[in-house]
Chain A
Amino acid sequence: MRTEFRLSGSGGQGLLLAGIVLAEAAILEDKNAVQTQSYGPEARGGASKAEVVISEEDIDYPKAMDPDFLLALTGEAYRTYGKVMKKGLIIVDDSVPPSDEISARTARVPILRTAAKDIGKSVVANIVALGVLAGISGIVAPATLEAAVKNRVPKGTEELNIAALKKGFELADAFKAKA
Chain B
Amino acid sequence: MPSAKLMQGNEACTIGALVAGLEFFAGYPITPSTEIAELCSEELPKVGGKFVQMEDEIGSIAAIIGASLTGKKAMTATSGPGFSLMQESLGYASETEVPVVIINVQRMGPSTGMPTSPAQGDVMQARWGTHGDHPVIVLAPGNVKECFDLTVRAFNLAERYRVPVVVLTDEVIGHMREKVVLPDWKDVEVEDRARPAAPGGYRPYEADPDGGVPLMAPFGEGYRWHVTGLFHDETGFPSGKAEVADRLLRRLDRKVSKNEPVIRDYVTESTEDCEILVVSFGSSAMSALSAVRRARREGVKAGMLRLKTIWPFPEEVVRELSKSAKAVLVPEMNLGQLAYEVERTVGCHAPVVRIGKVNGDLFRPDEIHDKIMEAAK
Contact = CB atoms under 8 A, between A and B. Distances in A.
Interface of A: 20, 23-24, 27, 30, 32-41, 59-63, 65
Contacts of A35: 6, 176-178
Given A23-B177, A27-B4, A39 B286 contact: no
A99 B176 CA distance: 32
Contacts of A30: 4
A33 B175 contact: no
A60 B176 contact: no
Given A27-B4, A35-B6, A36-B172, A60 B116 contact: no
Contacts of A41: 31, 115-116
Nearest to B283: A62
Contacts of B283: 62
Contacts of A24: 6
State the majority secondary structure of interface residues on B: mixed
Nearest to A21: B6
Interface residues of B, number: 23
B360 to A, nearest CB: 9
Interface string B171-189: 0100111110000000000
Contacts of A39: 116
Contacts of B117: 38
Contact of A65 (B6, B172, B365): B365
Given A33-B178, A36-B175, 19 more contacts: A20-B6, A20-B177, A23-B178, A24-B6, A27-B6, A27-B179, A34-B179, A41-B31, A60-B286, A60-B290, A60-B365, A61-B290, A61-B364, A61-B365, A62-B172, A62-B176, A62-B362, A63-B364, A65-B365
Interface in B54-99: none
Contact of A62 (B4, B6, B286): B286
